[in-house]
Chain A
Amino acid sequence: MRRIAPLLTLAALLWIAPALAAAPIPGGLAGNIYPVPTLPPTDSQLAVAVGSPMPDFDLPTVAGPRVKLSDYIGKKNLVISFVPAAWTPVCSGQWPGYNIARDIFEDNDAALIGITVDNIPTLYAWTRQMGDLWFPVASDFWPHGGLAQKLGILRSDGVSERALFLVDKKGVIRFIDVHDINARPDLGPLLEAMAKVHAEK
């Protein structure tokens, strides 16, 4: 029996190996998304309007350097894309799309910053799963949602709205889309606004 036991063990292991191998192991971005139920479309009161000056900000980014409003004034139009939270369904499918639209931003002399209220380590892990993003991803984690609060897009549960802001080279907000948090905004209206601002002399 003592001689047979190891053989039986081996046979058992061989038998269960395919089952273990076939066990689903979630991988990559798609396999690690936290399911989120449908939420109220918006849950905050916008504190700025088209024509308002963009509130100042100075935020850390995943890549290291901080991003400040003053970096862009007089140099570039600026698009800010707030998404509610890392590792959630709609957010995880928004910035990869912006990744293939770089030419359009550049053609309109516009920079893009992606922002969430998550901390840097979380954003680091999440954005690495998206591949190489060409735009800086900044954290509005501390003071928590500071910029989101100035803009009036911090929801009562501490995440931000899904929102797009276009700021011109004078620092004036020219386009706002505080979108239904459950859906991805169509890029079309933003691109039209960018082209309109860029066409101004």
Chain B
Amino acid sequence: MKAFTLGILAALILLAAPGSHALAAEASEAPGAKPLAVGTAFPDVPLIGPVSPELADSLGIPQNGPTPMAKVKAEVLIVEIFSMYCPFCQRDAPTVNELAALIDKRGLADRVKIIGIGAGNSDTEVDIFRKKFKVPFALFSDATFAVHSAVGQVGTPYYYVLKKTPQGFTIVAAHLGLIHSPADFLADVVAKAGL
């Protein structure tokens, strides 16, 4: 009887173990993804596609690219690799907008910038995403997946947090999937970038 009770207890513990239920993945997976390692240099990928005069001014780049990413004026740059076709990116869009607003509110807008790169998305497709979700930061296209390939063919959404160094941008943090708390995400960015 005692053994039976213990067996039941063990079964209950197993059932209650965190993560034992099937959890839906919170990112569109990319077969063969090899994210770039934290601590390594971020490739100087081209930023393609038109941006508004205000955003171009804020990033210190011309309105029409391609512009090497190293030209972006930012102490810390959060790069979101997304796709308009990725349901997780669509679901995450309002949260990323909140993150942008929080960066503003904390008075970090001159130091921390966000950009998005649409993996496999044309200018038109990026524009659909921009308008649908009223994205306040600059989005760039990557119709040929060339940038996506250069940054590790990651699943989407994927966030690289980069810090500017004299040699270019270096990866200080990375995150796959939805951002659940803009405040926690920003706190992590601030800590890892040493702001």
Contacts and interface: CB of A to CB of B under 8 A. Distances in A.
The answer to whether A binds B is: yes
Interface of A: 3, 5-7, 9-10, 13-14, 17-18, 20-22, 25-31, 33, 35, 89, 93-94, 96-97, 99-101, 103-104, 130-131, 184, 186-188, 191
Contact of A100 (B13, B21, B128): B128
Contacts of B28: 30, 93
Tell me the dominant secondary structure on chain A's binding face. Answer: helix
Given A13-B10, A25-B23, A30-B27, 9 more contacts: A10-B10, A22-B19, A27-B22, A93-B86, A96-B90, A97-B125, A130-B87, A184-B120, A186-B122
B7 interface: yes
B10 A188 contact: no
Contacts of A94: 85
A6 B7 contact: yes
Nearest to A97: B85
Contact of B13 (A13, A31, A187): A13
Contact of B122 (A6, A13, A188): A188
Q: How large is the interface on B (under 10, 10 to 19, 20 to 34, 35 or more residues)?
A: 35 or more
Interface string B1-31: 0110011011101100111111111011101
Nearest to A190: B124
Nearest to B31: A35
B83 interface: yes
Given A187-B124, A187-B125, A14 B13 contact: yes
B87 A29 contact: yes
Contact of B6 (A10, A20, A104): A10
6 contacts: A6-B6, A20-B20, A25-B21, A30-B29, A31-B24, A184-B85
A7 B6 CA distance: 8
Contacts of A28: 24-25
Contacts of B24: 27-28, 30-31
Interface string B75-95: 000000001111110100000
Contacts of B87: 29, 96, 99, 130-131
Contacts of B137: none
Given A96-B87, A100-B84, A186-B124, A27 B25 contact: yes
B111 interface: no
B41 interface: no
